[in-house]
Structure 1
């Protein structure tokens, strides 16, 4: 089959879309990704065709991006449109009826809470509640027109199951066959904090303050920020005099990201549950830390708690409490043997359970079923 993966907000090299799903599907199908970028163009990367449309500088001009994506989508002679956001799904459904094709919807987020947050609408306001209800109803209506749906977690899938849809769970587990360096005997006290684009809800401010306090006892501790640091946050770090123990890497390519993380001694994942999508999130960063054998200090939130508790791979904390984060970091440094045990537990859990190869089998089987259904109807 010819598969067109369509995204309206993610980049063409996104970890879930390109590194996991597209590469897996390319083992059995022809795959094209259509995504927004700073420039338009077409290329082949690792056997996957990448088509980019130019994204306007202002987010207010997002409708122009959608029109460009629709045009690129209609130009593709695809059998299936695999859509990654509600507005991408709208484009896919239009293509379905205009070209007689099939659609799959891949649900990454709880969009009824994510979209108002992205638009900076105050949580709990009348406008937020109204927009959330509207997004939910439109998303469900469009999802009913898809031949199949995936969801990133049980919590994300729940809303669709309440309405009679049955998404296949396709979690953001780690790829384990990348030959990533692993060293169970770690020296130093280098904490790792990873986020694509660091925002307030990631808890980076709380972690920086906690590390500052830990340094009173362990002055050699350092913090590496892996990802893009916003300008205001960078200025805050410099102005506080903390840049002496904080290193920021900026965006790193996939493998280079793993290589940098492997130099750490523990991973910080302290999402602040400022809105619903964060509260039910299960970040792929958790599994990346675990794969590398890093004990984790993580937010005590439902999906994260389920994994960390089952694997016994870290310490759960109240993400809003700097004292709790400080105490967890100190505990790991005071008990290096326990930290090593937790890290080994996490790595074993990923290799045995939380790995992408398991998810790949569900992904490929769903497409085989779709292909078989299409063949049977001909």
Structure 2
């Protein structure tokens, strides 16, 4: 069996894709797995995975120094494979490849499209940075041993002979509570909370819905970026918008077991149109109908499997109408939830993706 190092200086050690899916799958298959992170929580060993902590960076500049520390650590560990997850680490990956290491680049998103939406970058430099990211990734595609793409759309940017799509589908039964909970008039959003992911539109939709006499709440589980966004309109809507912060996976499962529908209303940015948000499939796996953005791929998944409603994510009135329909048609909504759960059990689950992941290491 192989010695494998997974590396990230951006993601947390308990990241769902990196740790719970990929690292644990490899460990259970008998590989010796080390996860190198930079979160400041110290070294550990969890479920057979050795976790090595580089220390938490204080800013983006300091994060670069963690990259060099990771390079030194991996060189000393001398693994059979290095599997990294952040585009910022491409230079480190190339350096390790030049030393003879087999390097796998795990591409979680369409990086050039994402760069164009980064608010912290000066607007005038975004296109230049996106172009540079595209060139770097194209070179990486020729230099690295393998590319692991989170969606087929992302994978099309890389050489087919080296690229495997390892999609971010749910773990079997992880968010499905064994005890049946009563569905309440609440709408759930789970994940990172930003304006680009539809926070303002979700809040406005629950306001419009309640203004028509419906008794409903919006429950949000996740961190806000920027943190000040959590205080936006707080006084006006706090009685209808419940902010849970980060929840454990069992807590997420309980929230989804009580909700009427799950929301995934990403705004029409270039990196969203062909994305496959993990939360969409997690809602489906929990037997929850989905209210989603009406992009062609999302409509194919949601409407094609009759598991939810697709709407214009910019139109809070349309979102509120979809919410109202779910509450007024509980039988049909329950059927949608069952359809989504069946689709995950037969198509959109981690079992097949785990096989593709294991095939990368040869």
Residue 256 and residue 57 in structure 1: after superposition, are their counterparts in 2 closer, same or farther (change >3 A)? same
Check conservation: 1:175, 1:357, Cα contact below 8 A. Answer: yes
Residue 277 and residue 239 in structure 1: after superposition, are their counterparts in 2 closer, same or farther (change >3 A)? same
**Is the counterpart of residue 103 in structure 1 residue 103 in structure 2?**
yes
Q: Distance in 2 between matches of 1:68 and 1:118?
A: 27
Cα deviation code 1:92-135 (max 9, x no counterpart): 2312322x221111111111122343363366x4x222221111
Residue 263 and residue 22 in structure 1: after superposition, are their counterparts in 2 closer, same or farther (change >3 A)? same
**Is the counterpart of residue 260 in structure 1 residue 246 in structure 2?**
no
Shift of 1:294: 0.7
Q: Distance in 2 between matches of 1:292 and 1:323?
A: 26
Q: Distance in 2 between matches of 1:188 and 1:217?
A: 18
Cα deviation code 1:173-199 (max 9, x no counterpart): 000143730567743201101123x11
1:374 maps to what in 2? none
Larger mean Cα displacement after TM superposition, 138-147 or 311-320 = 138-147
Check conservation: 1:300, 1:319, Cα contact below 8 A. Answer: yes
Check conservation: 2:38, 2:57, Cα contact below 8 A. Answer: no
**Is the counterpart of residue 169 in structure 1 residue 169 in structure 2?**
no
Check conservation: 2:115, 2:126, Cα contact below 8 A. Answer: no
Residue 218 and residue 356 in structure 1: after superposition, are their counterparts in 2 closer, same or farther (change >3 A)? farther
1:245 maps to what in 2? 240
Shift of 1:340: 0.8
Check conservation: 1:184, 1:340, Cα contact below 8 A. Answer: no
**Is the counterpart of residue 25 in structure 1 residue 21 in structure 2?**
no
RMSD of aligned residue pairs (Cα, Å): 2.0
Q: Distance in 2 between matches of 1:311 and 1:232?
A: 37
1:37 maps to what in 2? 39
1:288 maps to what in 2? 282
Aligned residues: 359
Q: Distance in 1 between matches of 2:207 and 2:3?
A: 52
| TM-score, with length taken from structure 1 | 0.89
Alignment of 1:268-307 (within 5 A): 268-274=263-269, 276-307=270-301
**Is the counterpart of residue 212 in structure 1 residue 207 in structure 2?**
yes
Unpaired segments of 5 or more residues in structure 1?
Answer: 371-378
Check conservation: 1:182, 1:293, Cα contact below 8 A. Answer: no
Shift of 1:300: 1.2
SS where residue 211 of structure 2 aligns?
A: coil
Q: Distance in 1 between matches of 2:175 and 2:64?
A: 41
| TM-score, with length taken from structure 2 | 0.93
Q: Distance in 2 between matches of 1:346 and 1:5?
A: 32
Q: Distance in 1 between matches of 2:3 and 2:112?
A: 31
**Is the counterpart of residue 235 in structure 1 residue 231 in structure 2?**
yes
SS where residue 228 of structure 1 aligns?
A: coil
Name which of 354, 360, 367 aligns with 2:354. Answer: 360
Q: Distance in 2 between matches of 1:179 and 1:258?
A: 4
Shift of 1:334: 1.6
Q: Distance in 1 between matches of 2:106 and 2:214?
A: 45
Q: Distance in 2 between matches of 1:187 and 1:83?
A: 40
Q: Distance in 2 between matches of 1:332 and 1:190?
A: 10
Unpaired segments of 5 or more residues in structure 2?
Answer: none
Check conservation: 1:82, 1:105, Cα contact below 8 A. Answer: yes
Q: Distance in 2 between matches of 1:178 and 1:313?
A: 19
Cα deviation code 1:166-225 (max 9, x no counterpart): 5211111000143730567743201101123x1111101101110111113344211110
Check conservation: 2:3, 2:32, Cα contact below 8 A. Answer: yes
Q: Distance in 1 between matches of 2:94 and 2:106?
A: 13
**Is the counterpart of residue 93 in structure 1 residue 110 in structure 2?**
no
Q: Distance in 2 between matches of 1:177 and 1:261?
A: 13
2:191 maps to what in 1? 195
Alignment of 1:309-348 (within 5 A): 309-348=303-342
Residue 178 and residue 195 in structure 1: after superposition, are their counterparts in 2 closer, same or farther (change >3 A)? closer
SS where residue 13 of structure 1 aligns?
A: coil
Higher helix share: 1
Check conservation: 2:180, 2:257, Cα contact below 8 A. Answer: no
